[in-house]
Amino acid sequence: MSGVLTAGSQTWELTRRSVVGERRQLLSVMPGLIFPLLLAAVYTKQFSRVLDMPGFPEVDSFLDFILPACIVQAVSFGATAAGSELALDIENGFLDRLLASPVARWPILLGRLAGAAVVASVKTIVILALFLLFGARVAGGPAAMLVLVVVAALLVLVIGGLAQVMAFRTGSQEAVGATFPLIFVSIFMSSAFFPTNLMTGWFKVVAENNPLSWIINPVRRLVINGWSSADAIQALGLPAALAAVTISAAVMALNRRLATP
pLDDT of residue 77: 77
Domain total in the chain: 1
Which tens digit of pLDDT belongs to each residue from 167-202?
888 877 777 777 777 888 888 899 988 888 888 889
The least confident of 78-87, 143-152, 184-193, 232-241 is: 78-87
Q: What is the mean pLDDT of the chain?
A: 82
Burial class of residue 64, CB neighbours in 10 A (0-12, 13-18, 19+)? buried
Q: Which domain holds residue 228?
A: 2-259
Which tens digit of pLDDT belongs to each residue from 112-169?
788 888 888 988 999 999 999 988 889 999 999 999 999 999 998 898 888 888 888 8
Question: Cα–Cα distances in Å, from 79 out to 55, 99, 112, 174?
Answer: 33, 24, 11, 15
Query: If we measure between CA atoms, which residue out of 125, 106, 94, 128 comes closest to residue 15?
Result: 106
pLDDT of residue 1: 47
Q: How far apart are CA 49 and CA 46, in angstroms?
A: 8
pLDDT of residue 119: 84
- What average pLDDT does the segment 2-26 reach? 62
- What average pLDDT does the segment 101-112 reach? 71
Query: If we measure between CA atoms, which residue out of 79, 46, 35, 43 comes closest to residue 182?
Result: 79
pLDDT of residue 124: 92
Q: How far apart are CA 209 and CA 204, in angstroms?
A: 9
